């Protein structure tokens, strides 16, 4: 409990009025003392009538699991015991990588009132909703009382499945995606043999099966279906460059969301899906498997990928991955680099990986860097920033061009676009039957 701003202003004004008896006459001393006594009485009454912490009945309702980067509502129900009323400010206090919304104004009374807060995890892992702070004034606004309501609620931030679901809806009606989900429906697509049918005018003559036609004494043609059981492996770099915040989230979380989206679609399409992470050394690995169990395994592994502060060892990480893969696969490597010098070792190991597998290289572009390079400088410092940003953008394009010449598919997209770009590239590879 402490004096409010109103009380401090009154005290300052009363102290200034103390010079009036000196200037105008000593008889005003009694009036000045009476005003001070009245103020002290009102202050004491305000302190006594102000609600206490024990007068609050607080209930907090929130989810134990939050999606990283996604605001989650926390409902706080509060009622005031007794017949008193007050207007309070409520603020959630958190620990860890958990951002809470601003303070909310609440009118306290006997009837329960619900006030909502938003919690937004900025990183995966555990965080704590520490306490709920309250501040209110007395009836005359002369006393402010601040109380702390301890909560100590532990919440778990996990990869954002809501983003995966939202982007999945956009592709759910795509025929290129659904090819392979139901073989009988999409018979005729792809190059995997499905069945024989009688040849009809208009069919491709190259599909005629002459041996079967001779055996059955009529023209028969081969019917094909979309291929299934390809092997897809998502390899995510968890080094220190991937921990850089971009669009409110670390690059690593953007990569995980895009990788989970690809894993979901690949598993639904009947492909074998695996997940792999590495930084200074190889980390988790989920064996490629079919069905939605592959997606659940990828989700479990991605939730445990930490934010490393070490330099990525591409030689050790990608060599370990090649040793684990026993068949040609589509390997999606999600990483990042700064310039062509630091990327040389990465390019060398991607080249070796591309000799045995089909490689898709995915990097997450910083839109702010492009804006800085394209901005019109208005001062010498702005010119210097634009030159440095432009040189970084040019070196990035040189590395990507070099990778494309080596036969590696490259995706360099903004955080909001990387998942869609990766799915489009996956569908194009399926359509061209490159695996």
Residues 218, 250 within the same domain:
no
Mean pLDDT of 261-274: 89
Q: What CATH number is attached to the domain comprising 380?
A: 3.40.50.410
Percent of the chain with pLDDT over 90: 27
Q: Are residues 7 and 138 both part of a single domain? A: yes
Residue 164 has pLDDT above 60, yes or no: yes
User: Comparing C-alpha atoms, which of 418, 318, 313, 311 is closest to residue 359?
Assistant: 318
pLDDT given for residue 411 in this prediction: 95
pLDDT tens string 359-378: 999 999 988 888 888 788 78
Q: In this predicted structure, what is the pLDDT of residue 233? A: 96
pLDDT at residue 33 greater than cutoff 90? no
If asked whether residues 208 and 261 sit together in one domain, one would say no
Q: Is residue 394 part of a domain?
A: yes
Q: What is the pTM of this model?
A: 0.77
On whether residue 186 sits in a domain, the answer given is no
Residues 220 and 135 in one domain: no
Query: Helix crossing, 380-405 with 367-374: angle to 10°?
Result: 120
More reliable by pLDDT, 284 or 189? 284
Q: Are 159 and 302 in contact (CB under 8 A)?
A: yes
* pLDDT of 147 over the 80 cut: yes
Most confident of 17-26, 29-38, 223-232, 293-302: 293-302
Q: What is the pLDDT of residue 187?
A: 47
Q: Comparing C-alpha atoms, which of 249, 326, 238, 325 is closest to residue 277?
A: 238
249 and 398 share a domain? yes
Mean pLDDT of 94-105: 86
In this structure, is residue 128 part of a structural domain? yes
- Which one has a higher pLDDT value, 397 or 13? 397
Within a domain: 329: yes
Q: In this structure, is residue 187 part of a structural domain?
A: no
More confident: 81 or 172:
81
Q: What is the mean pLDDT of residues 88-101?
A: 87
Q: What is the pLDDT of residue 211?
A: 82
Residue 14 has pLDDT above 90, yes or no: no
Average confidence (pLDDT) over 2-20: 75
**Residue among 76, 150, 165 nearest 119 (CA):** 76
- Say whether both 27 and 114 belong to one domain: yes
Please state, as a whole number, how many other Cβ atoms lie within 10 Å of the Cβ of residue 309: 10
User: Which range has the worst mean pLDDT, 243-257, 340-354, 373-387?
Assistant: 373-387
Q: Are residues 370 and 390 in the same domain?
A: yes
Claim to verify: residue 205 and residue 274 sit in the same structural domain: no
As beta bridge partners, residue 368 has none
pLDDT score recorded for residue 184: 39
Please tell me the distance from the alpha carbon of residue 218 to that of residue 237, in angstroms, as a whole number.
57
Of 67-76, 290-299, 330-339, 367-376, the range with the lowest mean pLDDT is 367-376
Residues 123 and 242 reside in one and the same domain: no
Based on the domain organization, do 235 and 318 belong to the same domain? yes
Could you read off the pLDDT of 306-322 as tens digits, one per residue? 898 889 999 999 999 99
Q: Are 52 and 172 found together in one domain?
A: no
Structural domain including 3 reads 1-158
In a domain, residue 204? The reply is yes
Q: What is the CATH number of the domain that holds 40?
A: 2.60.40.10
First to last CA, the chain: 71
Q: Which has more confidence, 295 or 178?
A: 295
**What pLDDT was estimated at residue 313?**
92
pLDDT of residue 185: 43
When divided into structural domains, the chain yields a total of 3
Q: Is there a single domain that holds both residue 199 and residue 151?
A: no
Give φ, ψ of 113 to 5 degrees.
Answer: -120, 140
What pLDDT shows up at residue 277?
Answer: 95
Least Cα distance to 425 among 383, 362, 378 occurs for 362
Question: Is the model's pLDDT at 109 over the cut of 90?
Answer: no
Spatial separation of the C-alpha atoms in residues 435 and 422, rounded to whole Å: 16
Confidence of residue 62 (pLDDT cuts 50, 70, 90): confident
Q: What is the mean pLDDT of the chain?
A: 83
């Amino acid at each position: 409990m402490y004096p409010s701003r109103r009380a401090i202003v009154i005290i300052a004004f009363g102290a200034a009025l103390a010079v009036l008896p000196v200037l105008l006459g000593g008889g005003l001393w009694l009036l000045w003392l009476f005003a001070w006594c009245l103020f002290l009485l009102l202050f004491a009454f305000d302190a006594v009538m102000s609600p206490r912490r024990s007068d609050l009945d607080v209930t907090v309702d929130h989810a134990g699991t939050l999606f990283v980067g996604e605001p989650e509502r926390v409902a706080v129900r509060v009622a005031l015991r007794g017949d008193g009323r007050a207007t309070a400010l409520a603020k959630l206090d958190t620990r860890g990588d958990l951002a809470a919304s601003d303070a909310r104004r609440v009118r306290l009374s006997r009837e329960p009132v619900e006030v909502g807060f938003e919690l937004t995890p900025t990183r995966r892992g555990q965080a704590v909703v520490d306490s709920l702070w309250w501040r209110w004034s007395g009836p005359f606004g002369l006393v402010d009382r601040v109380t702390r309501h301890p909560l100590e609620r532990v919440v778990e931030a996990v990869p954002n499945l809501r983003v995966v679901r939202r982007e999945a809806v956009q592709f759910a009606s795509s025929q290129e995606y659904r090819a392979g989900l139901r073989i009988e429906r999409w018979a005729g697509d792809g190059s995997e043999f499905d069945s024989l049918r009688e040849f009809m005018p208009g069919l491709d003559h190259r599909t005629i099966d002459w041996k079967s036609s001779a055996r059955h004494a009529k023209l028969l043609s081969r019917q094909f279906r979309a291929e299934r059981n390809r092997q897809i492996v998502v390899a995510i770099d968890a080094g220190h460059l991937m921990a850089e915040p971009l669009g409110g989230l670390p690059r690593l979380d953007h990569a995980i969301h895009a990788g989970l989206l690809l894993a979901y679609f690949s598993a639904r399409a009947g492909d074998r899906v695996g997940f792999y992470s590495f930084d200074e050394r190889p980390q988790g690995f989920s064996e490629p498997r079919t069905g939605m169990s592959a997606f659940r395994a990828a989700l479990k592994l991605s939730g445990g990928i930490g934010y490393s502060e070490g330099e990525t060892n591409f030689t050790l990480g990608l060599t370990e991955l090649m040793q684990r893969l026993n068949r040609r696969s589509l390997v999606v490597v999600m990483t990042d680099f700064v310039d062509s010098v630091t990327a040389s070792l990465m390019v060398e190991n991607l080249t070796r990986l591309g000799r045995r597998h089909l490689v898709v290289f995915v990097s997450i572009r910083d839109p702010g860097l492009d804006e800085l390079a394209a901005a019109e400088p208005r001062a010498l410092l702005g010119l210097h920033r634009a030159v440095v940003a432009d040189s970084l953008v040019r070196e990035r394009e040189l590395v990507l061009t070099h990778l494309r010449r080596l036969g590696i598919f490259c995706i360099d997209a903004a955080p909001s676009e990387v998942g869609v770009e990766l799915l489009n590239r996956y569908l194009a590879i399926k359509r061209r039957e490159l695996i």
